[in-house]
């Protein structure tokens, strides 16, 4: 039934029933696809839920560095003795403010490490150090919040489509950002985050605006061309008179907090699917209001009844097909379901790009974590062959599985695991060195591979096959065959020279960027 002709009604029983059936009754595959989408967004930090600590365990965070406890205590003493803090009631100061500041300083302890390199400066300007850390925290949280809220629009799109069909494609999380819409969506969501942050300062106003603007991300997921003013005004009209009912609907699921805290994985498999499906269901219920301007609702497929309602009404599941106005994110000369063709120069370019990205990641990781500028890897140049070899192997061997996403996911994880384990074994056997150790990670195999790393590699493999690989190929084709061959020849020559140096002087020991290279140059001059 088309919503234009349906009578608008808000029924708690019907909405809750539809949420339950949408999440749990369409079959195992749709359910696990929804779980996988939510997990991916949780893994990269866009969703923040309890998940009984599992997602945070899997997430390879590196924000906390090694810091002297006395440094934090000195900053806390300074803050505690300021006039503003002293004017607060003792309970507020000692039980709320100081613990919050302690948490912030612990989280950004690597910044304290930077200042602690100059002890005299830190002793003279401890207040300036504290202010800088707080400003950095606000700036960092603001930027990451904008980015995460923007990407969450893609999650909203997948959950919305999950309401109207049995199987939603994972690639639909990228659909709202096609046709150069990404920067526009970022702009609108930036305003959304700023406005909501200011309203939350008043607490009561934040609660009201949370419901009043709840439809904004979903409106953008349906129509990315909407401006902030258009999305805001339409969301206000949609929720007018229903904010209390929206609140009561959320409160009716309050009992889910119990298993969320007590039962491992219940957040991921129960709470989050219901939560996001509930928000989408509220959006589509309010979308049926006859007293609002419907010109901004561009997806006619969203005017249909939910998939579970159509099946309940007697329609056959195989006869329910949805066509959406918003196309998939498209990369020129590539498809989400057909294997791409590559030339040898494309693979060479991929190898070195992945090597360099891996090198930047490893160097940055140790710089933030241990405050040591370490030249990671067995070679002297800015490349880590394991990343390049892994990326190229994934694309070359698994590209043909683009049409079968589950097989691709499993095979990518297995291939990455074999490459990482074998590389670790070979390096340790021949060089008596261990360049990574996952013994402190859960679900590891002899410290050489771990589940968190394999999932990260899996995500990277999907990005490589569906996005990065085709983009690199298009870039090499834009250079032309002659220039592409010259670039590849230069890179291969430099790599071979590096290999010769490693065989003559021994592999890089990872003692720090510049140290092995300086020693190498000294040996060359002596020779």
**Tokens 């990518």, residue located:** 412
Say what percent of the chain tops pLDDT 90: 35
Is residue 86, in this structure, part of any structural domain at all?
Answer: no
By C-alpha distance, which of 142, 132, 174, 143 is closest to 156? 174
Is residue 197, in this structure, part of any structural domain at all?
Answer: yes
- In the predicted structure, residue 194 carries a pLDDT above the cut 80: yes
Residues 380, 287, single domain; the answer is no
Structure tokens, 487? 């670039």
d(CA 246, CA 239): 8
d(CA 244, CA 252): 12
Structure tokens, 150? 């923007």
Residues 249, 356, single domain; the answer is no
What's the average model confidence in pLDDT over 514-520? 38
Which of 256, 283, 309 corresponds to the end of one domain?
A: 309
Beta bridge mates, 444: 450
Q: Which domain holds residue 478?
A: 344-526
For residue 310, name the pLDDT band (cuts at 50, 70, 90).
very high
What's the average model confidence in pLDDT over 276-290? 95
Residue 469, CA distances (Å) to 354, 395, 474, 477 in order: 10, 7, 9, 12
DSSP string, 416-469: HHHHHHHHHHHHHHHH---S---TTSSSEETTTEEHHHHHHHHHHHHHIIIIIH
Beta bridge mates, 445: 449
What's the average model confidence in pLDDT over 257-267? 79
Q: Please give the pLDDT value at position 60.
A: 36
Residues 169, 305, single domain; the answer is yes
**Number of domains the chain contains:** 2
Structure tokens, 313? 């009404």
Q: What is the CA radius of gyration of the chain?
A: 27
Residues 252, 396, single domain; the answer is no
Is residue 23, in this structure, part of any structural domain at all?
Answer: yes
Mean pLDDT of all residues in the chain? 82
The secondary structure of 117-159, three-state, reads CCHHHHHHCHHHHHHHHHHHHHHHHHHHHHHHHHHHHHHHHHH
Residues 278, 364, single domain; the answer is no
Task: Tell me the HSE value of 395 on the side-chain side, using a 13 A CA sphere.
Answer: 29
Q: What are phi and psi of 451, to 5 degrees?
A: -60, -40
Residues 358, 458, single domain; the answer is yes
What's the average model confidence in pLDDT over 221-232? 95
Q: Please give the pLDDT value at position 64.
A: 41
d(CA 403, CA 71): 54
Q: What angle do CA 516, 521, 524 make, to 5 degrees?
A: 125
Burial label, 504 (beta-carbon count in 10 A; 0-12, 13-18, 19+): exposed
Residues 198, 282, single domain; the answer is yes
**Tokens 């003013």, residue located:** 229
Is residue 73, in this structure, part of any structural domain at all?
Answer: no
Q: What is the pLDDT of residues 347-359, one digit of tens each?
A: 999 999 989 988 8
- In the predicted structure, residue 23 carries a pLDDT above the cut 90: yes
What's CA 499's distance to the chain center, in Å? 35
Residues 180, 267, single domain; the answer is yes
Q: Which residue has the higher pLDDT, 373 or 287?
A: 287
Is residue 464, in this structure, part of any structural domain at all?
Answer: yes
Which of 282, 309, 336 corresponds to the end of one domain?
A: 309
How, if at all, do strands 444-445 and 449-450 pair?
antiparallel
Q: What is the pLDDT of residues 46-77, one digit of tens each?
A: 554 443 344 344 433 333 444 567 788 888 88
Q: Please give the pLDDT value at position 510.
A: 58
Residues 288, 419, single domain; the answer is no
d(CA 185, CA 60): 28
d(CA 162, CA 220): 17
Is residue 478, in this structure, part of any structural domain at all?
Answer: yes
What's the average model confidence in pLDDT over 505-521? 51
What's CA 156's distance to the chain center, in Å? 14
What's CA 299's distance to the chain center, in Å? 27
For helices 182-201 and 126-164, angle between their N-to-C axes, nearest 10 degrees: 120
Residues 241, 351, single domain; the answer is no
Residues 267, 351, single domain; the answer is no
Is residue 252, in this structure, part of any structural domain at all?
Answer: yes
Residues 186, 295, single domain; the answer is yes
Is residue 336, in this structure, part of any structural domain at all?
Answer: no
- In the predicted structure, residue 156 carries a pLDDT above the cut 80: yes
Say what percent of the chain tops pLDDT 70: 86
d(CA 452, CA 450): 6
Q: Going by C-beta distance under 8 Å and a sequence separation of 6 or more, which residues neighbour residue 408?
A: 398, 401, 402, 462, 465
| Whether 399 contacts 339, CB under 8 Å | yes
């Amino acid at each position: 039934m088309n919503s234009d002709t349906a009578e608008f009604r808000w029924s708690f029983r019907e909405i809750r029933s539809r949420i339950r059936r949408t999440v749990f009754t369409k079959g195992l595959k749709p359910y696990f696809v929804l779980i996988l989408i939510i997990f991916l967004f949780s893994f990269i930090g866009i969703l923040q839920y309890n998940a009984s600590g599992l997602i945070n365990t899997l997430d390879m965070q590196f924000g906390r560095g090694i810091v002297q406890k006395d440094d934090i205590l000195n900053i806390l003493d300074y803050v505690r003795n300021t006039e503003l803090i002293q004017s607060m009631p003792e309970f507020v100061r000692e039980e709320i403010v100081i613990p919050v500041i302690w948490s912030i300083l612990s989280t950004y302890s690597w910044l304290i490490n930077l200042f602690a390199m100059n002890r005299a400066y830190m002793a003279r300007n401890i207040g300036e150090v504290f202010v800088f850390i707080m400003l950095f925290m606000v700036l960092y949280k603001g930027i990451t919040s904008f980015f995460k809220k923007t990407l969450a629009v893609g999650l909203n799109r997948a959950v919305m489509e999950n309401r109207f069909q049995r199987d939603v494609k994972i690639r639909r999380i990228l659909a709202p950002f096609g046709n150069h819409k990404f920067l526009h969506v970022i702009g609108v969501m930036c305003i959304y985050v700023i406005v909501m942050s200011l309203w939350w300062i008043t607490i009561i106003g934040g609660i009201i605006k949370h419901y009043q603007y709840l439809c904004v991300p979903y409106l953008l997921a349906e129509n990315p061309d909407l401006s902030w003013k258009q999305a805001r005004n339409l969301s206000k009209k949609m929720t007018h008179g229903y904010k209390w009912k929206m609140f009561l609907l959320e409160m009716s699921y309050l009992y889910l907090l119990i298993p969320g805290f007590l039962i491992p994985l219940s957040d991921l498999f129960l709470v989050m699917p219901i939560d996001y499906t509930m928000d989408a269901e509220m959006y589509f219920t309010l979308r049926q209001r006859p007293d609002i301007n419907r010109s901004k609702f561009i997806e006619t497929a969203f005017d249909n009844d939910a998939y579970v309602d159509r099946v309940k009404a007697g329609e056959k599941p195989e006869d329910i097909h949805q066509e959406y106005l918003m196309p998939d994110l498209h990369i020129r000369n590539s498809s989400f379901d057909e294997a791409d063709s590559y030339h040898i120069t494309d693979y060479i370019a991929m190898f070195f790009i992945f090597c360099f990205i891996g090198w930047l990641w490893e160097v940055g990781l140790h710089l933030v974590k241990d405050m040591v500028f370490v030249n990671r890897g067995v070679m002297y140049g800015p490349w880590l062959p394991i990343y390049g070899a892994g990326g190229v192997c994934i694309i070359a061997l698994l590209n043909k599985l683009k049409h079968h996403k589950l097989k691709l996911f499993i095979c990518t994880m297995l291939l990455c695991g074999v490459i990482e384990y074998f590389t670790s074994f070979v390096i340790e056997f021949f060089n008596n060195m261990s360049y990574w150790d996952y013994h402190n990670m859960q679900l590891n195999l002899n410290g050489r591979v771990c589940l968190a790393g394999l999932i990260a590699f899996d995500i990277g493999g999907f990005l490589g096959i569906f996005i990065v690989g085709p983009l690199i190929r298009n870039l090499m084709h834009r250079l032309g065959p002659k220039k592409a061959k010259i670039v590849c020849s230069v890179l291969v020559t430099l790599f071979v020279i590096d290999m010769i140096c490693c065989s003559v002087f021994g592999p890089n020991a990872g003692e720090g960027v510049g140290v092995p290279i300086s020693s190498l140059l000294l040996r060359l001059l002596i020779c």
